[in-house]
Amino acid sequence: MTLDRSLVEALEKSYSTAPIDERDRVMLDYVVKLTKDATKCSKQDIEGLHTAGFDDRAVLQITLIASWFNYINRVADALGVGRE
């Protein structure tokens, strides 16, 4: 969470060019890959998260949180939640 509006705008435009640290970028690369096609996530992705400083518990939390948001958004989309 941040109150830095310029950071929020940069992230909304593209996290890959936003002024974030490498650790956050590695995490977001993984989350994007998981979101687009989780079957393409590999041991190398997990090793990359470890190299960036995330332990096994953090990797699990990142995976669970991203997966939950993907799931709940698909449920909402399927049921038309938020559509007029």
The rounded distance, in Å, linking the Cα atoms of 81 and 84 is: 9
Q: Are 41 and 54 in contact (CB under 8 A)?
A: no
Q: Are 30 and 65 in contact (CB under 8 A)?
A: no
pLDDT of residue 4: 87
pLDDT of residue 82: 81
pLDDT of residue 83: 76
> What ranges make up the beta strands (E) of 1-84?
none
Reading the chain (84 residues) residue by residue, the pLDDT tens digits are: 778 899 999 999 999 999 999 999 999 999 999 999 999 999 999 999 999 999 999 999 999 999 999 999 999 999 999 877
The rounded distance, in Å, linking the Cα atoms of 41 and 35 is: 10
Domain layout of the chain by residue ranges: 21-79
